């Protein structure tokens, strides 16, 4: 509690309290009883003097006194609020304690469960689209292994980006930023899930799928993550990362990715990510700029809009290429045309207007576009395996070859 006694002349108390500014008379006798300020405090007062110079002071924050009145004391602090502030600071610096009751929830958040789920779904779609027999055990093993590897990549990504995530509104509530888990917990989680996922893919699926998973993990954590703060090329690298899971599904089914059809869904995922992410990042430009990320929406907005439009058009072209590569029938090309046409229209609107409304529409429709497109591809798949004899439905040329042998 600080008291100032004053009856002779008027001075301004420049060292402002967080609550109130007092203008009071003082005497030279009273000043001798006031504890001397430290050199740091004096310097801070001088800075505050410069900052408030020539500024008007609201009457609501000023308490004036009659010069005729005897010596008075004025309380310029509030013990209760200072106590609450002290308790908040004390709680902020407490040691992180692991809440075992919320451990599963925090692990899901660390793995970015929604993004990991999308990766697993595209892997399943790649497996289902491949022209090979369906094996339930391989299908489940591939899905689980891919999910564990994706969780590892996301955990490592969050481990590296804690100081930058704390500066962004979209990421400031992540578990490492909030202190729900420590960086040590993240490393343990990433080590266990990564080793388990790659081992599962290698032993229960095949070597090619495990190799693709390991390559994607390294590409995401060691190239894409640091590149986000260096170059806008990070968007292209990130799109490659998103395009590999369908290849993993295809490889787990047929054991190779040399067929042109193996790259159709991978190409669709690669192209889809540009309108999806560019539209998302458009309204997050202040966040990305504050955190120091080199995104197209921040450094080159014109290129950001053009890229979204170009790859949306490329996506439509890939859909027409799918029946040519014997991945789907021609009904897929026909049924996907209205869907892709509207997607292209939204990308054109975003390119033309480049405002928040058009970017939100493009982003929200991209979330609908991808699952609908995958479902259309699976419904119109050209080569299916029969459940009765475990063999795929043969195309006419193969049937003719068998009849020739007989």
Q: What is the pLDDT along the chain (406 residues), one digit of tens a residue?
A: 334 344 434 333 433 333 333 333 334 444 344 444 444 454 454 445 444 444 444 444 444 444 444 444 444 445 565 556 555 555 555 566 666 678 889 999 999 999 999 999 999 999 999 998 999 999 999 999 999 999 999 999 999 999 998 888 888 989 999 889 899 999 999 999 999 999 999 999 999 999 999 999 999 999 999 999 999 999 999 999 999 999 999 999 999 999 888 999 999 999 999 999 999 999 999 989 888 899 999 999 999 999 999 999 999 999 999 999 989 999 999 999 999 999 999 999 999 998 999 999 999 999 999 999 999 999 999 877 544 444 344 444 443 333 333 3
| Residue 380, token pair as written in the block | 């119109």
User: CATH assignment of 259-384?
Assistant: 1.20.120
Every domain range in the chain assigned CATH 1.20.120 = 259-384
| 261, 131 Cβ separation under 8 angstroms | yes
- Which of 8, 38, 37 minimizes the C-alpha distance to 25? 8
Q: In what order do the strands lie in the sheet containing 62-63?
A: 9-12, 21-26, 62-63
| 23, 63 Cβ separation under 8 angstroms | yes
The four Cα atoms 49, 51, 56, 61 give a dihedral, to 10 degrees, of: -70
Every domain range in the chain assigned CATH 1.10.357.140 = 100-253
Instruction: Output the pLDDT for position 86.
Output: 53
User: CATH assignment of 100-253?
Assistant: 1.10.357.140
SS3 26: strand
Instruction: Output the pLDDT for position 209.
Output: 96
Taking the model in full, what pTM does it have? 0.71
Task: Tell me the C-alpha distance between 198 and 219, whole Å.
Answer: 15
Task: Tell me the C-alpha distance between 357 and 107, whole Å.
Answer: 34
- DSSP annotation of 59 reads G
| Cα separation values, 234 from 59, 122, 164, 292, 348, Å | 54, 21, 16, 13, 23
Instruction: Output the pLDDT for position 306.
Output: 95
- The residues near 5 (Cβ < 8 Å, ≥ 6 apart) are 26, 27, 30, 33, 71, 72, 73
Instruction: Output the pLDDT for position 103.
Output: 84
- Which of 282, 284, 211 minimizes the C-alpha distance to 251? 211
């Amino acid at each position: 509690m600080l008291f100032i006694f004053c009856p002779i002349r008027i001075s301004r108390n420049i060292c402002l309290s967080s609550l109130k500014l007092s203008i009071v008379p003082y005497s030279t006798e009273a000043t001798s009883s006031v504890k001397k300020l430290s050199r740091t405090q004096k310097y801070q007062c001088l800075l505050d003097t410069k900052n408030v110079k020539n500024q008007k002071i609201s009457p609501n924050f000023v308490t004036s006194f009659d010069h005729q009145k005897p010596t008075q004391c004025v309380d310029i602090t509030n013990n209760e609020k200072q106590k609450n502030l002290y308790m908040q600071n004390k709680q902020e610096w407490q040691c992180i304690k692991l809440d075992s009751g919320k451990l599963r929830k925090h692990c899901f958040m660390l793995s970015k469960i929604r993004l990991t789920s999308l990766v697993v779904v595209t892997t399943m779609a790649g497996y289902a689209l491949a022209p090979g027999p369906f094996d339930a055990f391989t299908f489940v093993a591939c899905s689980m292994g891919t999910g564990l590897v994706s969780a590892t990549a996301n955990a490592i990504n969050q481990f590296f980006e804690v100081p930058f995530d704390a500066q962004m509104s979209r990421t400031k509530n992540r578990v490492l930023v909030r202190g729900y888990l420590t960086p040590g917990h993240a490393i343990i989680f990433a080590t266990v899930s990564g080793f388990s996922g790659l081992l599962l893919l290698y032993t229960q699926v095949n070597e090619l799928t495990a190799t693709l998973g390991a390559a994607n993990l390294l590409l995401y954590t060691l190239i894409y993550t640091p590149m986000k703060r260096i170059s806008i090329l990070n968007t292209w690298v990130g799109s490659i990362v998103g395009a590999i899971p369908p290849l993993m599904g295809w490889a787990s089914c047929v054991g190779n990715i040399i067929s042109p059809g193996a790259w159709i869904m991978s190409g669709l995922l690669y192209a889809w990510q540009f309108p999806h992410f560019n539209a998302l990042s458009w309204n997050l430009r202040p966040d990305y700029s504050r955190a120091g990320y080199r995104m197209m929406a921040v450094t080159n907005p014109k290129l950001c809009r053009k890229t979204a439009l170009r790859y949306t058009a490329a996506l439509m072209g890939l859909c027409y290429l799918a029946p040519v590569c014997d991945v789907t029938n021609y009904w897929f090309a026909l049924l996907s045309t209205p869907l892709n046409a509207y997607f292209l229209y939204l990308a054109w609107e975003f390119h033309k207007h480049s405002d928040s409304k058009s970017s939100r529409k493009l982003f929200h429709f991209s979330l609908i576009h991808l699952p609908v497109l995958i479902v259309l591809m699976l419904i119109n798949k050209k080569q299916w395996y029969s459940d009765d004899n475990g063999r795929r439905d043969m195309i006419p040329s193969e049937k003719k070859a068998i009849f020739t042998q007989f």
